[in-house]
């Protein structure tokens, strides 16, 4: 039971911190300017690690690789803390579990982004955060919108994207779990 509590605490803190690093990476990748309050929160939460990492790993190709590396390091630290609390595993297992944790964060964060965007479109499409959420989710939805037409003015692309992400997540979990056996 104590291991479950430790895992819950570590996973919650790591997901918040790792999610902030991933959001910072994605905002720069899609070239969207966040609302001031959100930008302040994300930059304050991540600057302590991104700034030193940028000295080692500068942005290449227009991507903020220091932010992505920050997310990887947070995933690694969370994996090590949980494994240390429950009995360590081998180095190969640590790498695979860290990769799984990072990929799950990416998929779940993108799913949350699509879900929030759908809620905005139904409830208040003119909300101040709606254009920001739309700009972050458009790179995911645009290719799907080319294939899936509107049905009676209803955009089904978020549902298709969520389904594809769930399938992708299941495939990744299967591949990684096969490496752990």
Q: What is the pLDDT of residue 162?
A: 97
CA 11, 14, 18, 23 dihedral sign is positive
Check: CB of residue 103 under 8 Å from CB of residue 18.
Answer: no
Predicted pLDDT of residue 3: 84
pLDDT at 178: 93
What's the whole-model pTM score?
A: 0.91
Confidence of residue 171 (pLDDT cuts 50, 70, 90): very high
Query: How far, in Å, CA of 108 to CA of 61, rounded?
Result: 25
Helix (H, G, I), strand (E, B) or coil at 31: coil
CA 30 to chain CA centroid, Å, is 14
Q: What percent of the chain has pLDDT over 90?
A: 79
pLDDT digits (tens, 9 = 90+) for 73-113: 999 999 999 988 877 678 888 999 999 999 999 999 999 99
Confidence of residue 168 (pLDDT cuts 50, 70, 90): very high
Query: If you average pLDDT over residues 139-167, what whole number do you get?
Result: 94
pLDDT at 160 over 80: yes
Which residue reads 């605490």 in tokens?
Answer: 9
Alpha-carbon distances of 76 from 110, 126, 141, 161, 171, rounded to whole Å: 20, 39, 30, 28, 21
Domain boundaries, the chain: 2-180
For residues 69 and 50, what is the distance between their CA atoms, to the nearest angstrom? 8
pLDDT reported for residue 180: 84
CB atoms within 10 A of CB 121: 15
pLDDT tens, position by position, 11-57: 999 999 999 999 999 999 999 999 999 999 999 999 999 999 999 99
Check residue 89 and give its pLDDT: 73
In whole angstroms, give the CA distance from residue 163 to residue 148: 13
């Amino acid at each position: 039971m104590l291991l479950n509590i430790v895992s819950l605490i570590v996973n919650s803190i790591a997901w918040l911190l790792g999610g902030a690093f991933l959001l910072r990476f994605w905002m720069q990748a899609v070239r969207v300017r966040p609302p001031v309050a959100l930008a302040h929160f994300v930059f304050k939460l991540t600057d302590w690690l991104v700034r030193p990492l940028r000295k080692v790993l500068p942005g290449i190709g227009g991507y903020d690789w220091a932010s992505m590396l920050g997310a990887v390091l947070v995933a690694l630290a969370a994996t090590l803390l949980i494994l240390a609390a429950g009995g360590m595993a081998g180095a190969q297992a640590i790498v695979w579990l860290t990769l799984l944790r990072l990929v799950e964060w990416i998929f779940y964060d993108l799913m949350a982004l699509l879900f929030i965007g759908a809620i905005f479109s139904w409830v208040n499409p003119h909300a101040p955060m709606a254009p920001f959420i739309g700009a972050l989710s458009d790179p995911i939805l645009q290719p799907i919108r080319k294939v899936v037409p509107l049905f009676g003015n209803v955009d089904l692309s978020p549902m298709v994207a969520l389904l594809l992400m769930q399938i992708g997540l299941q495939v990744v979990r299967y591949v990684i779990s096969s490496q752990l056996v």
